[in-house]
Structure 1
Amino acid sequence: MDTNCKIDISKIKLAGRTEFYVNASADSAMSLNDGTKRTIEEFNLSPINHFILGIGTSSSSTSKESSKQAQPLTWLTGNRNDSKGIIFSQLTAVQDISLKPISFKGQIVGNCYEDDYARYIRLVGLLPDDLSENRENQTLSLLNNMRDCLVEQGMTFQHVIRTWFYLDDLLEWYGDFNVWRTHFFHREKVFDGLVPASTGIGTANHCGAEIIGDLIAVLPKSDELIIERAKSPLQGSAMDYKSSFSRGVEIKLPGCNTLYISGTASIDKAGETLFLDDAEKQIKMTMEVVTEMLNVANMNWRDVKRGIAYFKHGDYVPYFIKYCEGHKINHSPIAIFIADVCRDDLLFEIEVDSVQLGC
């Protein structure tokens, strides 16, 4: 394997399939592409989704090659990426189970698979129809496309448990986005049930859209599968300050719990930003919030299989590494990306996926 590409692999054996979380980092698009491709071939993996983080649209043809190894993908280029030359790739993949590619409006936009407990859909890098439209119309088009694609697969937006929204120049219009998302959620009766966990980050994308999005939807087939909102002891509900997402969502199966923690930042129970202009303290506070969420779900950082740490500036990354090393947290499964968080005074945000077996 390319020595310039570092690979972290977590393997989870479940009933009927094996899941893999593949986190790669490299100093070039070619190394990233080669390392990830070889991992897919070595383990005979079927990728469910693929993040590429930190390769700009002006990169050489090797960045285009990166997009070919695992379709579909979410390719984030960053607004002013200064990640010190390191770029990241993240795959969730499976063995021993068939994936059904999802086609929507002539494009492959995700995958569907199932087990004895549920049918699962992952939509990846979904786009608005017309990239020349204004931000409101692109947002509504994206949300409608998400819904319509789900309906074609026999689900509704009420089955969505996790979303990702990446907004170009987010700080200019995140408030408007929240209004439009909330209106859509009311119309689709999302508030009648579970409100999805979510990430909202400011970054450009390789298509030049104002917004792109991912989601996970779950249609239960058994009462043994339990989906519930995760607890966040150190923070209040984001909906209290008109941001329509849950702090996290937990899926419980016999012998396995999965916890999806939303993009989390240094915000107190009242929804106010803590530690203004102090990146080190914001990182510490945020990590403590996530630690408490893991602990209340009877998990810890050793159960984290993937994550993305978002930094307003690359100079803040050493604070994160220092915190992880001081608390014996393995940060190998966590990609680093320079992007805008949802408020100008927030300097750091992190999302994680955690899996615990034998529960």
Structure 2
Amino acid sequence: MDCSGRVISKSFGRMTGGSEHYIVIEPPADLDLTEQLACLEQRYDETRQELCLPAGGAVFRRLFVSDAMNQAPLLRHSRFAEDEDNSPVALSIIQQPPLSGTKLSLLAYHVSGALDLSKRRLTPRHVVVEKNGLAYLWTTGLCPGSDERQVPVTQQTRRLFDTLIDELDGLGGTLHNNCVRTWIYVKDIDVFYKDMVTSRSEVFLEQGLSAETHFIASTGIEGACAHRFDIVTMDAYSILGLAPQQVSYLNDFDHLCPTKDYNVTFERGTRIAYADRAHLFISGTASIDRSGQIVHPGNVLRQFDHALDNVEALLRAGSAGLSELMHLIVYLRDPTDHPRIKTALSERLPGVPAIIVQGPVCRPEWLVEVEGIAIADNEDPTLSSF
């Protein structure tokens, strides 16, 4: 069995905080699900060995799949749900078909060289990673879990946020102070996105999140979990123990307008600063101008370029650039656009671990959206180490 596929990784390392690694793997497309999974596991093991990644350092894995209802039961019991030392890993399984033609693709995040790193599973949906006095809460696969009846989208959204809020409260945190990033997946987004936004705005207002304080970096995109009647699914990343001066929000009003201008509540990007590095979380970003209007309607290549220009502007606001991107996810409304976007991506961002998936954006006229995480050098010994 040919297990060649595609593997690309990128690492960032410093003496004090250890190294971080992002890995993207796509198996060969001409295999069945079990064969693709076996190849994915094989190439993942080989990549870990090449990067000298120790057992216990796997933090987060997201599997992009073509048919979650049929594939998730097998994947939940695969080796991706735990690390080599049987320690927990935050596993996200989301139906967003990889446009390489495979049934599944992997995005993995590892930390190495951190002697004090520990992991524990709080619930099936929550894994906390402790390191250098901070607690990193990874929340994956929050969904109502209903296979019998459909709950209104507004109620589904509130239920997910209430679950996250309760978990943070148990750790001594709040949504306002500690949630850094969310990924919200909405089935049939052209129909249900507005209801999700309405409910999220109500939750945020109750939690003290507003245009006068701040929102949360986020992607709201089409996707699905494995439950038939669930419309909304959420992943989230929160940090307990951060000092206020470690957090800032990324904007460039010469390129993009505030999100409140078109009645949505998320930050364009969030920067978390540490003594030796900064993490920059770039929200889902499309081809939009500083007036909130869609740029280059109908032209996916020009929209893609403009979206990357916007990402570059946000990164620049956080003293970083496209070269610091550690991974990129590209969401396409129309899968037939994949060949051209794949070529454009390889020309503009060679060497960046990237996955292109089918994921319609919240406005039908947006043909493409991108998101990513960058890590840049930072020198501030007054801050805690990563």
Give the TM-score, by structure 1 length.
0.89
> Kindly tell me: are residues 128 and 277 of structure 1, through their superposed partners in 2, closer, same or farther at Cα, counting changes over 3 Å?
same
Q: SS of the counterpart of 1:190?
A: coil
Q: For 1:113, which of 110, 130, 142 is the aligned residue?
A: 130
Cα drift, residue 235 of structure 1: 0.4
Q: For 1:312, which of 328, 333, 357 is the aligned residue?
A: 333
Cα drift, residue 102 of structure 1: 3.6
Distance between the aligned counterparts of 1:256 and 1:231, measured in 2?
A: 20
Cα drift, residue 75 of structure 1: 0.9
Cα drift, residue 175 of structure 1: 0.8
Cα drift, residue 319 of structure 1: 3.0
Cα drift, residue 355 of structure 1: 0.4
Q: For 1:229, which of 249, 269, 286 is the aligned residue?
A: 249
**Percent sequence identity over aligned pairs:** 19
2:38 alignment counterpart: 30
Q: For 1:343, which of 348, 360, 363 is the aligned residue?
A: 363
Distance between the aligned counterparts of 1:184 and 1:352, measured in 2?
A: 25
> Kindly tell me: are residues 38 and 211 of structure 1, through their superposed partners in 2, closer, same or farther at Cα, counting changes over 3 Å?
farther
Q: SS of the counterpart of 2:81?
A: coil
> Kindly tell me: are residues 205 and 274 of structure 1, through their superposed partners in 2, closer, same or farther at Cα, counting changes over 3 Å?
same
Conserved 8 A contact 2:160-2:234 = yes
1:250 alignment counterpart: 271
> Kindly tell me: are residues 172 and 81 of structure 1, through their superposed partners in 2, closer, same or farther at Cα, counting changes over 3 Å?
farther
Q: Structure 1 stretches of 5 or more lacking a match?
A: none
Q: For 2:59, which of 21, 44, 48 is the aligned residue?
A: 48
Deviates further, 188-197 or 158-167 = 188-197
Conserved 8 A contact 2:218-2:284 = yes
Alignment of 1:1-359 (within 5 A): 3-14=3-14, 15-27=16-28, 28-40=36-48, 43-45=53-55, 46-57=57-68, 58-59=70-71, 63=75, 65=78, 67-69=80-82, 71-78=89-96, 82-85=99-102, 87-95=104-112, 96=114, 97-104=116-123, 107-116=124-133, 118-128=134-144, 130=146, 132=149, 133-158=151-176, 159-191=178-210, 193-208=213-228, 209-222=230-243, 226-232=246-252, 233-327=254-348, 329-330=349-350, 332-357=352-377, 359=379
Cα drift, residue 170 of structure 1: 1.4
User: Residue 44 of structure 1 aligns to which amino acid in structure 2?
Assistant: P
Give the TM-score, by structure 2 length.
0.83
Q: What whole-Å deviation, never above 9, does each CA across 1:112-145 have from its counterpart, x for those lacking one?
A: 32325x4322212222264533322221111100
Q: Structure 2 stretches of 5 or more lacking a match?
A: 29-35, 84-88, 380-386
Conserved 8 A contact 1:49-1:124 = no
Conserved 8 A contact 1:256-1:358 = yes
Cα drift, residue 265 of structure 1: 0.5
User: Residue 137 of structure 2 aligns to which amino acid in structure 1?
Assistant: I
Q: SS of the counterpart of 2:284?
A: strand
Q: SS of the counterpart of 2:341?
A: helix
Distance between the aligned counterparts of 1:89 and 1:228, measured in 2?
A: 30
Conserved 8 A contact 2:6-2:27 = yes
Cα drift, residue 171 of structure 1: 1.3
